A and B are shown apart, each in its own frame.
Chain A
Amino acid sequence: AKADEQFFPMLVYRTGAYAPSGIPVANGFRDYYTLLNKRDGGINGVTVTFEECETQYKTNLGVECYEKLKGNGPTGASLFNPYSTGITYQLIPKASVDKIPILSMGYGRTSAADGRVFEWVFNPPATYWSQASAVIKYFSRRAGGYDKLAGKKIVHLHHNSAYGKEANPTLEVLAKRYGFKLTLVPVDHPGQEQASQWRQIRRIKPDFIFMSGWGVMNQVAIKEAGNIRYPMDQFVGNWWSGSDADVVPAGDGAKGYLSTTFHGAGSDFGVHADIIKHIYGGDAAAAKENKVGEVLYNRGVVNAMFATEAVRTAQAKFGNKSLTGEQVRWGLENLNITQETLDKLGFKGMVSPLKITCEDHETMGPVIIQKWDGAKWSYASEWLTPMRDIVRPLVEADAAAYAKENNITPRNCN
């Protein structure tokens, strides 16, 4: 009989307006899955299989891809990583019906962190709201303490979409608590034109800018910041506004730009050595061509690692064979990635450990600020833990509202 296989669907966007972000993510996934097969012979002997489906970042294509891939492999799809907030929203209701978990790592619906309502959705290590709180924490350190935030002016420059607006409520709560003056400046899709937004910013003269951008909006924003001579070290993008594709087109102007992240960038980690060795036959140049080490490539790798570790966790309970989505969900919910595991897998220093629970599908993992020096990213802060006391109540309130609207009875996690 055929060897056991574990199937991972991949919703990718290698074409269209967001391809510059989609390509490295997809490559990261691909390389990590391939690495597992080549280096370890799969996950505990179970071969990893995967198939790409092009979504072009469009919701209708996302749904089509989901339907197309969900039944593949001997036991169906293990889990979905939609890589688009819009598609994630669409898949959330379907997940519980089809019994396939969704792993939306650092995007998607924030309140899905409440595992009692969103049994099938996981969004570790942190959400937009957690991120926003961590960024404010960072700003407070820069200002010299929380008390110094009072009276400071902070601008949230965001993509005018559900995704871009996610952080707004949290920021508003934080503004109230710490007394800083928050201005929300939206930019319409696609964001090629931001002249007037930046003139507004120039007038406001903010102490800090936090940006939730996406695609071409990021590059233009970084250029425009230079145009008004805004100091780059007061300008922080979220983790979707801090990839190589965002800074490279801006050239020298992008030097000193900051962004958040929850994993390291660059190809100096153990896992990269393995990838270059096993997949690129030691050819570092070819690896570079395929974006190995870029921020979003690493995100793909990290995400694939979380996914496969969830399967490994589940295998411990259900045996080393092809697992169903339902079994993988159990694995996700009991996922506990320790520092030890990370070291073993070659992620030392790249990711923080994380432990998912039935109640908390997010874990509020720490966030770090990285800085672009014109050639590469490097860490520019210590790890910042989000403010649980502020974020969690918001999450629970929103999850409760969702549960009510959709006749869901939250499960009991005790």
Chain B
Amino acid sequence: MEFLESILVTPFIEIWESPYYFIELVLVGLSTGVLYSLVALGFVLIFKASGMFNFAQGAMVLFAALTLVGLMEHGLPLWAALILSVATMVGLAFLVERFMLRHLVNQEGLILFMATIGLNFILEGTGQLMWGSDVKRLEIGIPDQPFDILGGKVLLNTFDVTAAFIGALLVITLAVFFQKTPMGRALRAVADDHQAALSVGIPLKTIWIAVWTIAGIVALVAGIVWGAKSGVQFSLSLIALKALPVLILGGFTSVPGAIVGGLIIGVGEKVAEGFWGPALGGAIENWFAYMLALAFLVFRPQGLFGEKIIERV
């Protein structure tokens, strides 16, 4: 009884009583949420273009960030290292198409998924082989200072705000690109049916290279932002796990879904941890994100913005 009260009543009273704490949690939730969206976006792009659930997205984040800091450690200036890292991601896209995707046309989702697991191993191995497994500091000049708003009741951080801004910008650009260009339509066609797409002359090769390149660049940005937060190291690849509930909540195929999903998960998990965590013993964020996604799915099995699952006979 007491327990029920502590999870069903007390947290709401607390929210009522400490509104600034609540606002603060919502704000950090939003800024984290944008960063989740950024990682989820990489998944969405590739899924949209090939029906492939890219398990290696996390490894790509790691790989891109490692390449960047690795190059910078060798004395390259930031801009040069950035250009070279982008070039590396383009090269990766070419290789992936040449040695993997092309041979797996028309295979089932699970098989494609498994292939990306192979890719995941390759990227993790190569990234660490080339640049080492040590933690590396990434300094890209985004100011990192706390500042007060609402008369000092709420504390934010310039870095989080800037990162959220960069993330939002990228996400919106991509959303527009894919909604407004003919490429967007071709992408969706490919995701539905590889063979039919081939039959109407959509060049899978070009599409895939383009999409993997974009996903690679998104991974690079995600890697930079997260890497600047916690240092560039292997754990970066684990943030892919945080993108999963976002992806599922928003719908695998939807760019706006990735954004909204990210925000909902970000805010939801922060608020839950802040108000419900103490009663439940804390560290509930992880499963809470999934439970939240699950709760949404029960009402919309295809996610908030996902394409309706077609069931016909």
Contacts and interface: CB of A to CB of B under 8 A. Distances in A.
- Does A touch B (CB under 8 Å) in the complex? yes
B31 to A, nearest CB: 8
Interface stretch (B169-177, B256-264, B275-283): B275-283
Given A227-B157, A248-B135, A219 B230 contact: yes
B282 A19 contact: no
Interface stretch (B17-25, B49-57, B91-99, B193-201): B17-25
Contacts of A251: 137, 139
A215 interface: yes
B199 to A, nearest CB: 45
A381 interface: no
Contacts of A253: 144
Given A19-B133, A20-B133, A228-B155, A196 B25 contact: yes
A200 B137 contact: no
Interface stretch (B40-48, B71-79, B178-186, B266-274): B266-274
Interface in A296-334: none
A23 B229 contact: no
Interface residues on B, range: 35 or more
A202 interface: yes
A244 B108 CA distance: 47
A184 B279 CA distance: 11
A3 B160 CA distance: 61
B285 to A, nearest CB: 6
Most buried by B among A14, A23, A199, A229: A199
Interface string B217-252: 000000000100111011100110010000000000
Contacts of A229: 146, 155
Contact of B281 (A186, A202, A228): A186
A196 B235 contact: no
A14 B133 contact: yes
B233 A196 contact: no
A20 B134 contact: yes
A203 B19 CA distance: 12
Given A192-B239, A193-B242, A249 B231 contact: yes
B234 A17 contact: yes
Interface in A112-165: 160
Given A15-B133, A160-B283, A199-B25, A216 B230 contact: yes
B135 A249 contact: yes
Contacts of A202: 24, 155
Given A16-B133, A20-B134, A219-B135, 19 more contacts: A17-B238, A19-B234, A20-B133, A20-B233, A186-B281, A192-B226, A195-B270, A196-B25, A196-B271, A196-B285, A202-B24, A216-B135, A219-B230, A223-B229, A226-B146, A228-B146, A249-B135, A249-B136, A250-B231
